[in-house]
Structure 1
Amino acid sequence: MPPSHIAILGGGLTGLSSAYHLSRKFPSSLITLLEKQPRFGGWVRSERVQVKDERGNMASVVLEAGPRTLRPNAKSVLELINLLELKSSLVLTRKTSPAAKNRFLYIPGTNGLQLIPSSITSFFSSSLARILVPAILREPFRRYNRPPGITDESLDSFLIRRFGEPFARTFGSAMVHGIYAADSRILSVRAAFPTVWDAEENGGGSVIRGLLSKNERGEAAVDYVLGDMVTAMDGVSVFSFKEGIRTLTDALVLELKRNPKVQLQSGVGVTSLRLNPLHQTFEITTSSHFSFKASHVVSTLSPPVLNILLPPSLPLPHLTENTSSSVTVMNIVFPPSLSGHPIHPPGFGYLIPRPSSGYDTSNSGILGTVFDSSALSGQDTGRLIKLTIMLGGPHPLTPSHTSLPVVLKHLASHLGHPLPEPLLVHSHSHASCIPTLSVGHLERMDELRAVLKALPWNGRLEVIGAGVGGVSVGDCLEAGKRAGCVWR
């Protein structure tokens, strides 16, 4: 018998995806989605703004305070684009474009950016060759050195074992800054980068041999309704939408509002979640002082928030194990370059590795910068230059770190030349926005799922979302697609 009433806690990417897919799986079930904030979409926050340059010319740009690009290999994303008929709204960045080929590092203490090699020729001629060449060439010949009995470790520890400390600190920490805004010495390699962990096993101890010999399995295409989206993504590096990522969440909200079996409630938080084991129902109390019963619940809330809602008599394990990163996002729009000298080099942007001195307030606090006007030029009118700077994460921030003059001073140093006065600056501070999946995360989540499967929960509560699975848009939408897959 299908669920009679499904409650979904949280109206971000995972919650909206859950509601959409569950409404398709169980068309007769009532679905109630509760979102504490006045708007749906979670950390997705796209805004089109009008900008006037110094000559009085008007242009419009899309500013993203949250995720800004999508990967074409995320079939859960492609399926929604197909089902919601969003293909005409796409903005594509081809693999042949400079934004796809050129990515940079800024090494603290230096002046200017360093291009990350993307070809064999540049690999040997790069200014980063002194770190890259010995790390890559020696790795296949290093002996198998995973300590006996180790089932997980930090990405930093893993990369040091296989590629050496300079590579781990320069490239590993920078990559983690860009994806998780976290410290690579804490992040679980198995949870965050399972491909490289598996490659070490499949390659007889060598990550490179494992990556070169691995079989591309991918997801079963029969499980997704993709239409012609795979063909549309041929040769695409990253993509977004003309009006930003909110196009996806707005379309989900609109589709759900059309369904009479789905109730969307924004501005309504959950204050308690209680299970009645005798009747196998949940009682949910909300911030608007009403309560209701549900036969099944999907929680997409962060695990620490869910932990507060549960009664002490029925705790769940491991909900408070992981910390989360807080990030400040600054969108900066500059006038077109009139001198002929571009503000930034053609490319996607740059990341900054962990300083050799560690994370302290003497550093800039900047994790990296995206050259939005290069990566997603099809979103904007005019020839304005749009950048997004990310600060915080493992860096402790003070008010001076995020003051505009200080940020512009650091940005000019990174780019290697003075900058014009910006036309527009938007700043957003996101508290605890990206969970850090620490070492042992997968085993802990297996234990959590085992408890939820057994009595008294009996599989009727599912805990999903970025704090459980991956943090990308694709990961969150995939988790929503899989919600309730064992319910009958």
Structure 2
Amino acid sequence: MPAHVAILGGGLSGLSAAFHLSRRFPNALITIIEKHNKLGGWAQSDRIEVKDERGQPCSVLLESGPRTLRPNAHSVLELIHLLGLKDSLVLTPRSAAAARKRFLYIYGTKGLTPLPSSVAALVSSPLRSLFVRAGLRDTFIASQSAGDESVHEFLSRHFGEDFALTLGSALVHGIYAADSRKLSVRAAFPTLCEAEKRGRGRVIAGSFLSSPTTTNGYDLGDMKSVMDGVSVYSFRDGLSTITNALQAHLAFKPNVRMLLGTGVSRLSMGDAVEVTMSTGERITPTHVVSALPLPQLQPLLASSSLPHLNANPSSSVKVANFVFPSSSRFHPDGFGYLIPRSKSGYQNSENPGILGTVFDSCSLAEQDRPSPAPIKVTMMLGGPYGHVDIPESTLLSHLASHVGGVRLPKLLYSRIQHHRDCIPSFTPGHLERMDELRQVLREGPWKGRLEVIGAGVGGVSVGDCVEAGRNAGVHWQ
């Protein structure tokens, strides 16, 4: 039983760990150590005030990190229920355009290409032949991998090279901002591998044989019925609603203290665990949870190194938020579009480094005031393109071209933010490496008193990070 748990890092994983550990061990001291003066990690929501084309004030919510969630993450739904956040939800039903309409920008075509969302839409889709060939290949050429491989290799094996390039690379751009040829399919998309196994080498067949999900163990209240028929959701004040609510909840817990603006300079294990902070203060917790990015943990270890902390690279992403007048809808209704990798790779003249664009107003209009609210879109840049320094005028020119060569209205507001090393890229072999890391943590000098969690270990989504925090320390009792 822990008497004192130090949590290194106050992002989503660290806050989730603090929340659940403080409930599981009410008599243990929980100390959160965060080097920044603000908790929440990459989940950062900002409300700005702009004036519309008539000079009237408008309130617009901008996200610089994740912006929408899917209702299949029970760990997040549990937090919403336990923290009383249900009334602040913004729900996008499956019938909405933002749920039914998603697009690709394909090089050499004018405007956006809609992804078929039904069999009827597939019949008239310009992507019909691509999907039909992919389906036939997976159906009649059963193939099962003996080990880990890249997402591109997996999709090429099952659905063909063209499908892997067009759909696979675009999907990976939207989630991981990475190169699908370098990303582990088992770590990044385990459901594909599970479907392949169930279908005996056929992914499509295996997807129809999936086992029903269970909510056993999660305290969901009525959240299951609230999310019935919902495609994605967020909050009126953005995803920082979760991190702000966690911080407010923890601030009133008598067994929790939060040290903000305080880094960790050393983590050692001798007769006892010792954490040395940037202020010079030393604490001796009985247990430690590191929710730091894995490469940041390695330099802190004084006496014993841990394997594989520097095994994976990370993607850096620039996020460009644009706000336009409400009367100037220039893009089609839908969630947004992704851009596949060019056949010539990432060094090409066709794309300066744009991964995709989200039409935020289609799914999150309730976040903004008054109604009708200004049009907001978000472009993601960089990732496998490396560091990109693209002028705003160039971004807007590409945006106009992507949506059909329209003339964009005058901007009300814009900003570009650079997030360095924000998304870990799981290279093949990641799951085996993390198993080895956990074994060393259990059996080595730490004897199970140090847990390493976070996006670099078990998944990059909000749900993955919250789930990791929820599971921290489950064997400490």
TM-score by length of 2: 0.97
1:91-140 CA distances to partner (integer Å, 9 max, x unpaired)? 00000000000000001232210000001011121011121121123311
Matched, 1:431 2:426: no
Matched, 1:460 2:456: no
Quote the offset at 1:163 in angstroms. 0.3
Q: CA RMSD in A?
A: 1.1
1:328 aligned residue (315, 318, 332): 318
Residues 329 and 140 from structure 1, CA distance in 2 versus in 1: closer, same or farther, beyond 3 angstroms?
A: same
AA aligned to 2:173 is: H
1:47-99 CA distances to partner (integer Å, 9 max, x unpaired)? 11111012111111100000100111110000000000000000000000000
AA aligned to 1:410 is: H
Q: 2:201: which partner in 1?
A: 205
1:350 aligned residue (325, 334, 337): 337
Distance in 2 (alpha carbons) for counterparts of 1:481 and 1:185: 32
Q: 1:151: which partner in 2?
A: 147
Q: 2:283: which partner in 1?
A: 292
1:332-374 CA distances to partner (integer Å, 9 max, x unpaired)? 0011235xxx311010000000111101263221100000000
Q: 1:247: which partner in 2?
A: 241
AA aligned to 1:161 is: R
Quote the offset at 1:145 in angstroms. 5.1
Matched, 1:380 2:406: no
1:166 aligned residue (162, 169, 175): 162
Is 1:361–1:395's contact at 8 Å kept on the other side of the alignment?
no
Quote the offset at 1:214 in angstroms. 2.2
Is 1:79–1:226's contact at 8 Å kept on the other side of the alignment?
yes
Quote the offset at 1:457 in angstroms. 1.1
Matches within 5 A, 1:230-245: 230-245=224-239
Distance in 1 (alpha carbons) for counterparts of 2:26 and 2:197: 43
1:315 aligned residue (284, 305, 311): 305
Determine helix, strand or coil for the equivalent of 1:450: helix
AA aligned to 1:461 is: L
Matched, 1:390 2:383: no
AA aligned to 1:194 is: P
Q: 2:177: which partner in 1?
A: 181
AA aligned to 2:396 is: L
AA aligned to 2:195 is: A
AA aligned to 1:388 is: T
1:122-171 CA distances to partner (integer Å, 9 max, x unpaired)? 1121011121121123311113353xxx3200000000000000000000
AA aligned to 2:316 is: S
Distance in 1 (alpha carbons) for counterparts of 2:264 and 2:107: 44
AA aligned to 2:304 is: L
User: Please, which runs of 5 or more residues in structure 1 have no aligned partner?
Assistant: none
AA aligned to 2:376 is: K
Distance in 2 (alpha carbons) for counterparts of 1:57 and 1:374: 22
Distance in 2 (alpha carbons) for counterparts of 1:288 and 1:131: 59
Distance in 2 (alpha carbons) for counterparts of 1:61 and 1:283: 45
Matched, 1:404 2:398: no
Matched, 1:132 2:131: yes
Distance in 1 (alpha carbons) for counterparts of 2:333 and 2:249: 38
Q: 1:470: which partner in 2?
A: 459
Distance in 2 (alpha carbons) for counterparts of 1:306 and 1:378: 40
Distance in 2 (alpha carbons) for counterparts of 1:222 and 1:160: 37
Residues 138 and 187 from structure 1, CA distance in 2 versus in 1: closer, same or farther, beyond 3 angstroms?
A: same
Matched, 1:261 2:255: yes
1:337 aligned residue (327, 345, 354): 327
Determine helix, strand or coil for the equivalent of 2:132: helix
Determine helix, strand or coil for the equivalent of 2:306: coil
Quote the offset at 1:287 in angstroms. 1.1
Determine helix, strand or coil for the equivalent of 1:60: strand
Determine helix, strand or coil for the equivalent of 2:208: helix
Residues 272 and 361 from structure 1, CA distance in 2 versus in 1: closer, same or farther, beyond 3 angstroms?
A: farther
Quote the offset at 1:201 in angstroms. 1.4
Count of aligned positions: 473
| 4+ runs deviating over 6 angstroms | none
AA aligned to 2:369 is: T
1:440 aligned residue (413, 429, 437): 429
Distance in 2 (alpha carbons) for counterparts of 1:98 and 1:50: 27
Is 1:5–1:295's contact at 8 Å kept on the other side of the alignment?
yes
Q: 2:210: which partner in 1?
A: 214
Distance in 1 (alpha carbons) for counterparts of 2:27 and 2:348: 55
Is 2:275–2:283's contact at 8 Å kept on the other side of the alignment?
yes
Distance in 2 (alpha carbons) for counterparts of 1:82 and 1:132: 40
Distance in 1 (alpha carbons) for counterparts of 2:37 and 2:107: 40
Q: 2:64: which partner in 1?
A: 65
Is 1:360–1:396's contact at 8 Å kept on the other side of the alignment?
no
